[in-house]
Structure 1
Amino acid sequence: MKIQNAFTLGLVATLGVGVGLLIIGAVASLATILTYVGVALFIALGLDPIITWLERKRWPRWLALVTVLIVVLGIVTGLVFAVVPIIVEQTSQLITTVPEVVNRVLDERWRESLTQQLGGFIDINEVYNAVVSYFQDTSNITALAGGALQVGIGIASGAFGVVIVLILTLYFTASLNSMKRAAYRLVPASRRERFADLAEQITHSVGRFVVGQISLGLINGILSFIFLSIIGAPFPAVLAFLAGMLSVIPLVGTISGSVIIVLVCLIPGLSTGNGLIPGLSTPILALVAGIYYIVYMQVEAYVLSPRIMNRAVSVPGALVVIAALAGGTLLGVLGALVAIPIAASILLIIKQVVIPLQNER
């Protein structure tokens, strides 16, 4: 259709831009919901290989599905009733130790002694004075109060999001096959079989990647709890849970959790001293933890990760780094999680679709 009138052309163009802006605004408003859907679908794809494996063992589809869902609900329930009380208890212990730590910081002789132990590279008195000056400013106190309120709202929103993701995961897992069949019907019949084959390879790759990352997180969490309990580190359950959760994030997760744990071990007065190796001073405790996590990261990078992840996705190392950085920049943690399987899917399409088409020309 040709539009000769300049006014009509401008009106149509303006309406087009307005509709585009409306769509962008709607997507931005639904960003949280879309994130929930993406996370739930990602987890559902991770559970699908387990269901498929049970089907190959001659389990009926419904029985395999029900079994996996019961196991998932059991794990979530176990975390709530077993791990969460320990975390709450140790968090309460952390809160009770705060006054003791504060009293030490208020002691000028302790600050001078710590400055000498650090070789004079960091003047603890200057740091203390800067902190006191910061809190004496009422505007900073107001900002901190507002930040604490936002943190509380964020925790409540996170708990609500976990419930929503769990419900969506159960639904997607139960109806994943029907969802895929419905998507395949949208493709022309002449290309449907090829499209379905590629889609199955991609979904299986994503599923194996999810299982692999969760396995690495569980290994790190369990080993961290055992190690931290042995050396008498502070709050081993909390730190091990943190290490396991962060290990699910590709590339930077394990090292981030390790740095946090070592820094916590450096805080004076927090060590329990109840491990199998009691009496470790704070610097020695942090040094031992640092050495352990350096060794663990090497084992994970060269032993665990290749054996677990090579079966899931086949992506060159440089592309893994680029994909994870790009995904993290665009979508945060979720983007970093999905970037690697998306990169593997693009490589699969290039190898099986683009290159054969180029060879035929």
Structure 2
Amino acid sequence: MTSPRPGRPEDVSQSVPKVLRVSAALSWRLLAVAGAVWLISWIVGYLAVVIIPVAIALLLTALLAPAVGQLARWKVPRGLATAIVVVGGIAVVGGVLYGVISAFVGGLPDLQKQVASSVDQIKHWLEGPPLRIPDSQLLDLPNQLIKLIQDNQLSITTSALSTAATLGEVLTGVLLVLFTTIFFLHDGGGIWSFLTKIIPADVRPRVDLAGRRGFASLVRYVRATAAVAVVDAVGIGVGIGVIGVPLAVPLAALVFLGAFIPIIGAVIAGSVAVLVALVAKGFFWALIVLVIVIAVMQLESHILQPLLLGRAVQLHPLAVVLVIAAGFTFGGIAGALMSVPILAVLNSGIRSLLHDQGIDPSEVDPTRPPKVEPGHGK
């Protein structure tokens, strides 16, 4: 066999250092992966009106599926069990909303009185040193506000129309979430079995098992998130209730809902509590509420979120924090809400594909997460 002549492509390739060849091979593969991720992100953003409600419905299904599964094990027909859980969930949410609205209406008169007193205090503070704003300018503020509204009437009207359109989209999304959740609860197993038919038969059982493991991980994540939300709501609600801030119950409910949006949600809800304390009781009590909110947020960020969520989805605490930050950077609030569940499902599914073989998928109930054997996934 003759040796390759100088100048041939294989001869040139051999003259390139191995480190450079490997780096170039990894680089174009990373570019291909980045392009695929960008394409998927673009598709998800384009279809966000459909994908986000379906994703929320999947989270609600993970929250309610254990109850439906338990009723089914008690020999209750699947359709009736789904109806009981859905109607019961709507009744609980409606009852909570009624209680929150009643507390808001009941505390509003007291809030109005305290706001009027706080406005007078703020007015005296503005008139005194160091600002010394003349009383005539303070009295003219309402007229200036009316003039500002009149000058920007067109933009205000446009914003109102945009808000109305947004409310229409939100209502449509809520109906889609409810409709999808009912079908997921009633026939989620059948839907999953239909989807797995596109998988080659020789690997279908392992993929089926991985999907069930992933959904079990999602169930654990939703439970842990609900626990974090309850701790946030109770901590901030009790704190502002003890110091006498009005509307403590509605504010606690707002904190509970906000806690389902990792990191930023509870912070925004806590900021509302600080603002209410400021206008109702003054700067000192607002500072106390701020300390309470910061303490609860530190408890959530450094203990509850990393440990509870990390254990629930078998992720390192640092991974939980980083994926939340990345999700918020790329997808905003929706990205922060969905980032950890997606990572949890992928982590559990991939581990199952790599390590679980010879297991009958029918033995795995997603509403009853299987115990992890020692050393599994290491």
Same fold (TM over 0.5): yes
Q: Does 1:198 align with 2:194?
A: no
Change beyond 3 A, Cα 1:288–1:111: same
Change beyond 3 A, Cα 1:130–1:209: farther
Change beyond 3 A, Cα 1:227–1:98: closer
| 1:124 Cα offset (Å) | 8.8
Change beyond 3 A, Cα 1:179–1:198: same
- Alpha-carbon separation, structure 2, partners of 1:147 and 1:88: 27
Partner residue of 2:322? 322
| 1:201 Cα offset (Å) | 0.9
| 1:67 Cα offset (Å) | 4.1
Q: Does 1:254 align with 2:266?
A: yes
- Alpha-carbon separation, structure 1, partners of 2:68 and 2:254: 28
- Alpha-carbon separation, structure 2, partners of 1:183 and 1:228: 49
Whether the 8 Å CA contact 1:51–1:61 is kept in 2: the answer is no
Partner residue of 1:83? 100
Partner residue of 2:91? 74
1:32 to 26, 49, 56: 49
Partner residue of 2:64? 47
Aligned residue pair count: 312
Give the aligned residue type for 2:204.
R
- Alpha-carbon separation, structure 2, partners of 1:248 and 1:348: 21
| 1:48 Cα offset (Å) | 2.0
**The structure with more radius of gyration:** 2
Whether the 8 Å CA contact 2:320–2:340 is kept in 1: the answer is yes
Q: How does 1:7-22 map to 2 (within 5 A)?
A: none
Render the CA deviation track for 1:327-359: whole Å, top value 9, x for unaligned. 224433222111112122333455454699xxx
TM-score (norm. length: structure 1): 0.70
- Alpha-carbon separation, structure 2, partners of 1:102 and 1:163: 42
| 1:247 Cα offset (Å) | 0.8
Give the aligned residue type for 1:345.
V
Partner residue of 1:11? none
| 1:176 Cα offset (Å) | 1.1
Change beyond 3 A, Cα 1:315–1:87: same
**Structure 1: which 5+ runs fail to align?**
1-22, 272-281, 357-361
Partner residue of 1:167? 179
Render the CA deviation track for 1:37-65: whole Å, top value 9, x for unaligned. 22112211232234345666x55563654
RMSD between aligned residues? 4.0
Q: How does 1:1-361 map to 2 (within 5 A)?
A: 30-52=47-69, 58=74, 60=76, 62=78, 64-87=81-104, 90=107, 100=116, 104=120, 107=123, 109-113=124-128, 116=129, 125=133, 136=147, 139-155=151-167, 157-267=169-279, 270-271=280-281, 282-301=282-301, 304-305=304-305, 308-353=308-353
The structure showing larger relative contact order (alpha-carbon pairs under 8 Å, at least 6 residues apart) is 2
Whether the 8 Å CA contact 2:207–2:353 is kept in 1: the answer is no
- Alpha-carbon separation, structure 1, partners of 2:146 and 2:118: 14
- Alpha-carbon separation, structure 1, partners of 2:339 and 2:43: 24
TM-score (norm. length: structure 2): 0.67
Give the aligned residue type for 1:327.
G
